Structure 1
Amino acid sequence: MHILLTAGPTYEPLDPVRFLGNRSTGKMGYAIAEAFAAQGAEVTLISGPSYLPDPASPRIRTVRVETAAEMYAAASEVALEADVWVFAAAVADYRPAKVGVDKIKKSGETLTLELVKNVDIAATLGQRKRPEQFAVGFALETTNELAHAQDKLRRKKFDLIVLNSLRDAGAGFGHDTNKVTVLDAAGQIVNFELQSKAEVARGLVSLIMAKLNPAP
């Protein structure tokens, strides 16, 4: 089984010094990659900027990228041959319309940036998804969490979506623990209580494998 897995943030350059980014560390995505590898799967891990070292498992091939465009290009190369797609990366929705060749110098009391929309990696690849392929998305929300996750599940044609809420203590960016809710297209909901991200990853992989190989 071949897994395509995106993880970590993307950084969208503003000039040679600055970028637009987010607080993702990649810990959840890396843990999922290791959990899949432990089950014998071959994993292509496409990682945005992260301080985490490449996973040691020989079953995991790590591809390092920086921007959303680079992540999309790398994912496109392996998406059609992968059996399972897991979009765990926190991809920037927008990027600066212009990237300064030199450092932008301080001038005046305000600075106005024009942003343009990045490619929606999961939605774009989903247009080419074959029926036998299985897609898992992630949603990090702060309000109306279930409603937003259910909408994203439908719009992007995911088979499962993993919902994080930043309102849950010990969950989300930067923590070694996580607490998630998993929704499927049939309306089933599975809750994972607060535990280590490695334990959450193993639970998610078990759930995905059960969906792929349902008991008779």
Structure 2
Amino acid sequence: MHVLLTAGPTYEPLDPVRFLGNRSTGKMGYALAEAFAAQGATVTLVSGPSQLPDPASPRIHTVRVETAAEMFAAAAEVAAEADVWVFAAAVADYRPAQVAVDKIKKSGETLTLELVKNVDIAATLGQRKRAEQFAVGFALETTNELAHAQDKLHRKNFDLIVLNSLRDAGAGFGHDTNKVTVLDAAGQIVNFELQSKADVARGLVSLILARLTPSS
């Protein structure tokens, strides 16, 4: 089995010094890569900027990228041959329309930035997904969590979506623990209570593998 897995944030440069980004550390995505490898899968881990070291498993090939465009290019390169896609990265929705060649100097009381939309990696690749491929998305919501996650699952052609909520203490960005809810297209829900991200990853991989193996 070949798994394509995206993880971490993306950084969208504003000038040679600054960037637009988010608080993702990549911990959940890296834990998933290790969990898949432990089950014998070959993993292509497309990682945005992260302080985490490359996973040690020889089954995991790590591709380091910075921007959403670079992440899309790296993912698209292997998507067709992968059996499972897991989009765990926190990809920036927008990037600066212009990247300044020199550091932007402080001037005036306000600074206005024009942003343009980035490619939606999961949605774009979802249009190319074959029936035998299995896609899993991640959603981080702050309001109407279940409704937004279900909408994203259908729009992006996911088979499962993993919902994080910033309302849950100890879950989300920067923590070593996580608490998630998994939804499928039929509306079936599986809850993972607060536990280490490594344990969540093992549980998610078991759930995915069970969905890939028809019951006898």
Fold match, TM over 0.5? Answer: yes
Q: Which residue of 2 aligns with 1:212?
A: 212
- Mapped partners of 1:183, 1:129: distance in 2: 19
Secondary structure in 1 matching 2:187: coil
Q: Deviations over 1:69-110 (max 9, x none)?
A: 000000010000000000000000000000000000000000
Q: Deviations over 1:31-83 (max 9, x none)?
A: 00000000000000000000000000000000000000000000010000000
- Mapped partners of 2:85, 2:29: distance in 1: 12
TM-score by length of 1: 1.00
Q: Which residue of 2 aligns with 1:92?
A: 92
- Mapped partners of 2:125, 2:26: distance in 1: 21
Q: Deviations over 1:141-160 (max 9, x none)?
A: 01110010000001111000
Q: Deviations over 1:161-182 (max 9, x none)?
A: 0000011000000000000000
Structure 1: any 5+ residue segments left out of the alignment?
A: none
Q: Which residue of 1 aligns with 2:26?
A: 26
- Mapped partners of 2:143, 2:43: distance in 1: 33
Shift of 1:215: 1.9
RMSD: 0.4
Q: Deviations over 1:112-154 (max 9, x none)?
A: 0000000000000111110000000000001110010000001
Q: Which residue of 1 aligns with 2:197?
A: 197
- Mapped partners of 1:82, 1:154: distance in 2: 21
Q: How does 1:29-108 map to 2 (within 5 A)?
A: 29-108=29-108
- Mapped partners of 2:44, 2:211: distance in 1: 21
- Mapped partners of 2:127, 2:215: distance in 1: 29
Shift of 1:187: 1.1
- Mapped partners of 2:70, 2:103: distance in 1: 23
Q: Which residue of 1 aligns with 2:183?
A: 183
Q: Which residue of 1 aligns with 2:111?
A: 111
Secondary structure in 2 matching 1:208: helix
- Mapped partners of 2:194, 2:153: distance in 1: 23
Secondary structure in 2 matching 1:89: coil
- Mapped partners of 2:152, 2:93: distance in 1: 14
- Mapped partners of 1:101, 1:20: distance in 2: 16
TM-score by length of 2: 1.00
- Mapped partners of 1:10, 1:202: distance in 2: 25
Secondary structure in 2 matching 1:100: coil
Q: How many residues align?
A: 216
The 4+ residue runs of structure 1 with deviation greater than 4 A are: none
Secondary structure in 2 matching 1:164: strand
Shift of 1:214: 2.5
Q: Which residue of 2 aligns with 1:150?
A: 150
Q: Which residue of 2 aligns with 1:4?
A: 4
Secondary structure in 2 matching 1:204: helix
